[in-house]
Chain A
Amino acid sequence: MPKHTLIAYVEDVPGVLNRVASLFRRRNFNIDSLTVGRTEQAGVSRLTVVVDATDAGARIVEANLYKLVNVLRVDDLTHKPALNRELGLVKVKVTAATRSQVLEFVDMFRARVVDVDEESLVIEVTGTPEKIGKFEMVLRPYGILELVRTGSVSMARGHDKLSANPPLVRAEVAASAADDHSHAGVSMSV
């Protein structure tokens, strides 16, 4: 299943994250990652959702997100030039013999050591989700004690500012699905 990156501006009110997550659960879409944070506007939070979906499925998600009263704007960045970044913290086992090898990888990946112990290092790494996956892969032979990733945050490239209150109305949200029938033909309930 291909992955789609959707961003949503939402009102910063209690329960809004639950509403968004509940929508995905209810429609049976699998969330790959979901991050929330503040924006430059007071009272407005921004979500980045990576979801397993076809193009048609993503369009349904987008339309459903718009139905939530607290959702201000939704955009699908999947097919747009965009920056996707994630932060990972990795606690990896080291010995006197392997420490320098690990530090070499830290250098290569432009990561940073943020904690040093006799038998381990904690390394901070940012980049695309693929890069963090790669970093995990090369450290795995040394023994990863703990690993945590934040999930993706995304932003379109270029100068244009994405307003949380767009003048446009996404009436075309579900249009132009053209030859993508992948969401149609779902099994029937009886």
Chain B
Amino acid sequence: MKLTGAEIIWECLIREGVDVVFGYPGGAILPTYDAMTKYPQIHHVLTRHEQGATHMADGYARASGKVGVAIATSGPGATNMVTGIATAMMDSSPIVCITGQVGSRALGTDAFQETDVTGVTLPVTKHNYLVTKTADIARVIREAFYIAKSGRPGPVLVDITKDAQQLTAEFDWEAAAPKLPGYRPNLRALPTEYERALELINSAKRPVILAGQGIKLSGATAQVLELADTARIPIAVTLLGLGVVPASSPFNLGMMGMHGEAWVNQAIQQADLLIALGMRFDDRVTGNLKTYAPHAKKIHVEIDPSEVNKNVHVDVPLIGDLREVLEELLPKVRTSDRGEWWAKIAEMKGDSAVRDIQALPDNGHLYAAHVINDLWRATKDRDTIVVTDVGQHQMWEAQYYRHEKPRSLITSGGLGTMGFALPAAIGAKFACPEKDVWVVVGDGGFQMTSCELATAEQEGIKVNVAIINNAFLGMVRQWQEFFYEKRYAATPMTGPDFVKLAEAYRLNGLRCDKRAEVNSTVKAVLADKRTTVVDFVVEQEDAVFPMVPAGADLDAMIRRPKREILAESGADKEWQMPNGESAAVSELTLTGGPSKAASVPAAKRKPAPSLKKKSAETSKKSSRPVVAKATKAGKRR
């Protein structure tokens, strides 16, 4: 059957199971958009920026496990995609980007809207293609989907010249099967390595499982829980691993790394065996590599051989699909109770100031952690996906929202892309229209891509946006506070009236600045059919605790500041050891950590430079950083 290149593109997408694409038209992709009118079975979402299209495709992929598709024109359309492609690359997210290119005869002439897009995206794609012949389109698109979703997933870009879209060729789906002799995505571990791994697991006294998002990507949650249960091994999770094992599992200690809980990092540092599952020892989870888990042998289960021994020396690499590897191992893992190790962990847990903000009574101030915790309580019985942006709110979400299911948290981990959340949430909503999708976003990141509110409005979909608004680039400000003597260079930030902004887009806008109102606000959001933006006005100079300063030893954490008010609260009694005994958390000590910054009395803190109008107000009950609270309806509103 003879078809134009543009028609072949759509025929291929339909056969790949695509039902929605995110894109933005332009001259060099116009033949494809023109042909789109013949294929109503694929829904096209017009975004407001090509970056938004890639984040939407990414959010769609992360929520559904399918390949997300983004379309753009040549030149600026394609270069606008780069941030979204790099985000997908760092987090192993399968997306296919299709871009138009100038006509093949104009290639290399610096024609209007010409950019060497394959050159530009080479380092941030798993693979990319420049297609100049109509006859190649079908095979290339099939290969692109296969590469994107197999092995370690990742983004693939297909750049197609305008004439290749316009001319016709024979379309034969079967004949266009991928021809990739050099691509071997599913490598297998050697049998000898299984034996070495089993020896280490069965003889370890203080093992810890490090759970990454590879567990989600290979669907190995049940196998990981079985391993933990059989061998009584505690699980520490990475940021992208949140949800791959339920937060409520007694084996799940919580998040590791820079903003993980202290006992999780202590457990890793004291472990004699780390079983790393689908994670890559990012510098945000290891701290100082020279002192990282010094007593531990390391088993690394990983599908990408180039990740093994990249950052951390590994004793036993198990290369392959995580689920297959675990299924091979599990029958031979010995049961054990490891009572001493669990007692030690309970002791370390007792030493830490646990989830203390949750236990704080309402003192009239709204803390971001309140918002997250109350949001969790209000939404935990609903099928909810939370999409976060990057910064303090992202870490608070990771700490205080308890994810029970894989794919219930979508966040930009590796690249740390501000502006990711809103478009990714729109993509996630298209993947899972039956679920509630919440965006947790800072006032800074929200302003980077808030134009996509118009996309939500035009599509008539509902995403719920919780802006954690502290009128600061909060995480950068926190670093300035801790490591740059509070010189708040370029971090105080004004924004629009977010309620009015939402209304300007014909959407619903709400504001909340009291803890007592969080719950009712969430209810009001859920009751409205439209996309709703809530401006949660929170404490400006609150910091994320605990924290491992970049490059410090993993257990050298800046602890939460002393908060006398917690003495009687006995925070977090919910945690139990896997044997059902209650862990010894009654003697909760809440001593301040080694940080000088954290113990600076609040009264000494200066208001932010550009916020001078606002009076410094401190709470005597708490030494929490409570400064520059906006008491007047100033610029912030």
Contacts and interface: CB of A to CB of B under 8 A. Distances in A.
Contact of B188 (A66, A68, A171, A174): A171
Given A15-B118, A18-B119, A66-B306, A186 B319 contact: no
The main secondary structure of chain A at its interface with chain B is: loop
Top 9 A-B residue pairs of the complex, sorted by shortest distance between their CB atoms? A63-B306, A174-B308, A190-B550, A171-B319, A72-B182, A69-B127, A63-B305, A171-B187, A188-B283
A15 B310 CA distance: 26
B312 A184 contact: yes
B122 A18 contact: yes
A183 B310 CA distance: 7
A59 interface: yes
Contacts of A70: 182
Contacts of A175: 193, 308, 317
Contacts of B550: 188-190
B343 interface: no
Contacts of A162: none
Interface string B270-312: 0000000000000100001110000000000000111011111
Contacts, number: 92
A172 B122 contact: no
Interface string A153-165: 0000000000001
Contacts of A22: 122-123
B317 A174 contact: yes
Nearest to B483: A190
A114 interface: no
Contacts of A188: 283, 288-289, 550-551
Interface residues of B, number: 37
A69 B140 CA distance: 13
Interface string A58-75: 011001101111111100
A22 B124 CA distance: 11
B290 A11 contact: no
Contacts of A141: none
B147 A181 contact: no
A170 B193 CA distance: 13
Contacts of A177: 309, 313-314
A10 interface: yes
Contacts of A165: 181
A70 to B, nearest CB: 6
Contacts of A72: 181-182
B189 interface: yes
Nearest to A19: B122
Contacts of B310: 60, 183
A119 B47 CA distance: 70
A60 B309 contact: yes
Interface in A36-71: 56, 59-60, 63-64, 66-71
Nearest to B151: A67
Interface in B189-236: 189-190, 193
Contacts of A18: 119, 122
A169 interface: yes
Contacts of A184: 289, 309, 311-313
Q: How large is the interface on A (under 10, 10 to 19, 20 to 34, 35 or more residues)?
A: 35 or more
Interface in B106-135: 118-119, 122-123, 126-127, 130
Given A14-B130, A22-B123, A70-B182, 7 more contacts: A56-B309, A63-B305, A64-B306, A66-B305, A69-B127, A71-B182, A172-B317
Nearest to B311: A184
Nearest to A56: B309
A96 B103 CA distance: 60
Nearest to B143: A69
B309 A59 contact: yes
5 contacts: A10-B182, A68-B182, A171-B305, A172-B190, A175-B317
Contacts of A174: 305-306, 308-309, 314, 317, 319
A66 B184 CA distance: 9
Contact of A69 (B147, B189, B283, B320): B147
Contacts of A172: 190, 193, 317, 319
Contacts of A64: 306
Given A59-B309, A174-B317, A169 B182 contact: no
Contacts of B182: 10-11, 68-73
A104 B224 CA distance: 73
Contacts of B317: 172, 174-175
B175 interface: no
A79 interface: no
B146 to A, nearest CB: 10
Contacts of B193: 172, 175
A185 interface: yes
Contact of B311 (A19, A26, A67, A186): A186
B180 interface: yes
Contacts of B314: 174, 177
Nearest to A68: B182
Interface string B156-189: 0000000000000000000000001111100111
Nearest to B550: A190
A173 interface: yes
B533 to A, nearest CB: 33
A64 B310 CA distance: 10
Contact of A171 (B189, B283, B551): B189
Interface in A106-157: none
A183 to B, nearest CB: 7
Given A19-B122, A69-B147, A181-B313, A190 B181 contact: no
Given A174-B308, A190-B550, A69 B290 contact: no
A60 B306 contact: yes
B140 to A, nearest CB: 12
A14 B159 CA distance: 14
A56 to B, nearest CB: 7
B309 A169 contact: no
A186 B310 CA distance: 9
